[in-house]
Structure 1
């Protein structure tokens, strides 16, 4: 029985790009077999046939449960000897290009293109793989045989250059792609400076079929899971898979479905370097509830200049920070000394001495020590209602040495691109190129990875001009004025049912609901799957700041949807009681609040059924539990995957889906990647 189940699972996985999450595999398996839990556990924990990725135990070992990805594994390899030089080995004698998808030598190829030879059939039978179709076998070999896939360049994944520390750059025969992206754990997402696609390496996959090229991410993901796990003893895994469910019987055998019971909310994710270098907008407004748990820097200004200490670890604030910022915002300045050099030797020498004690903006150093500038998020990455974001301006240098802002009129012509457009493109791809026009001339702007290396080039004359990206200056006094103005402003369009007397500007207020139509609506939603629970209190969360952002996001999504209304749902979210205040104030942030697994993507998880979210509601100081009811702009949804850090594009179009789900036909779990699509509207206190 074990062998039959194992072979069925192997064939199923190979038909599904080599791996499946536990829920999907279980759904397919249950249509054909009824298997006792211990038997199924022993099959899946066979380290020779399957590798497990995703969910982990506290000790870091792969486990069967939430987020587990089951990947097909084999010891079978292709013989690496040349044709005719091997006779008795136990590996397949087959052309590697056929396995990859296409051999350009065709019938003249010296290597075998057939699996039906007596020797190959004997080898397949010895491995228990004789029943696999050719397509299934090739999928299995691709993710297990190391020599079939181009190796990921380890040097590209180190260093700060355009090609990392790889000295061969474009001539390198290894894959230049972010390894963490392939492993599904890149913390930088779309802002990562390394490639998250295979386009730049397409010459390495010329022998691959179109189908295999489309599935490269899954193939490499499976490969890393197999290589990273190796063979583990069954004792390393939990003895009990999952809780009891409704028993199913067939022929005297009883099996409880192996479904993914949610594990408790995981610990907060480690902050990325991007987060650690970003100043918290909520702290500037003096209301960050995450406090020491906040992934971002707490500072009272939207910029912070620091110099590295001699230990190379500690950073110290530079004096006269506002003056350094003022100088940096001037594109003419190459250092923080505001004095311009005189023509006389005496003053030239004096200027040189002063510049030595200034911050060098081109090398970002101060007295030969590294300097960093921390900043709030770019204004293009946040809705317009966010104050004190950093507005970046873009400049180019003309023939007379003047720095001119993009989009503003020059003596000759005005560029067809604005600083805002450039900033958005820069955030999308920092190694990219941007074509634009100025008058009757065409140009290409090269971001080139590093700000000091950016330039634009005239396509006709091939002349190059330097480019600079500098922020718009904001003084400490302006910060205070903006904070005061934001605090006194009123919300433009708050919901009619809100208590208008109880919203204190940017802060939030919890309003306890009395028995009413509003109360009954939320109670009915909750009781649909939690009929035996007792609701002690329902509170409405009134946060004008979050509401304005939510309404703005709805407007943007409606415009992209050609004016059609956007699909929005009330969904449930259970979390740790200690995070309630932070969520009410700043919305959901999966990196801080933890996640309910990442099997459908790295985002915030919401459930249609309260009973699902109940398993994530954790209590500490009291017996009652807390659950959020959020209004969520789910928009257009698609099937999620563990590798997603944002929804995928819709087919071949430039448009993206708005959210991911566990099932397109009957979704019950939604993954949201942009918190502007969420408004945490109610808190339910229950037992």
Structure 2
């Protein structure tokens, strides 16, 4: 393992041992005890590495500046079909869900669990090694999976967080099978702290309900903080090279508002938005908007049309210019970059103008990028078109889609953006990029 990899591994272990997240200055101090790396170099590694997400903290450092919080992340997931005995070859972990929860009843008794408890198995170890997670201990790995795989988390009760009653407006009250916890605590913006009427930890009823669902005591203790990290990951995940949002099981009005505030207002572009300053969508004169966070908040990038033109070409990984935007890491000089856009054209009727038409590509044999549904250099066409992939993606951004090209079967994964050939165990990179719309086109359509 290289020095770079050792630093990443050690930082991941520290984060997972600290409920999955930590302020970057504190993380650097702990890493520095083993590796003599400057704060600037460490920040560069963390921001560029796909293992971490960096978000702005609400708290202040000793010199009055905002610190950043680092959250550990991974694209690995537990296989949903494995527990149904329906999976034979995939790129997900084959593990007992209750073992990950730390409370598999079969693992404690004489009767052996029919699902794997072995992270070193022939299925699991290569996947962990590919993601450089094979040296994490089980507790750290399981916490990492929990805060990144939303299918593992119990759903937070939205009704509990409405109204003024002890149980909000939840009619199930103590019999509710969803988690009762303060949504503002999860969002790290609760103004009441210990005096809050909503729970910031789990009471006896919630613990009993979670235990019945198979979660162990240690996981239950950390679960409120895991929810915080899931929310942080979701709030930082923006339209990028993958164009995905991490799906939460926290369905609250404010969460929906947060997501919609990243969408562009179609009516404003056409100068017909009746809500004006009260509109929850972003007002801008283009159907896309590029912004950079320089530590003082999000601000517009210059030469937005040039950046957009470059981004729409799937072969490009950087924008032009002396300070290019990295389209893979969505950064510029290590500063986070985001692209806001109007809704996908799939989600609106055909007569809606200036929606975003997303195009799906896979990497060809000649290092070229080929749109799904279009012929390659041998005139072979995939059975699934770009539009059909976008429709499937809008329905479930974690799905896998099976397709045929020639006489070969493939499946595409929205999670890691690869097209795989299960027979030969090969894979091709995929990309989702918008169709370019110039400023002149926008002005012509907006009238």
TM-score bin, normalised by smaller chain: 0.3 to 0.5
What's the TM-score once normalised by structure 2's chain length? Answer: 0.48
What's the TM-score once normalised by structure 1's chain length? Answer: 0.32
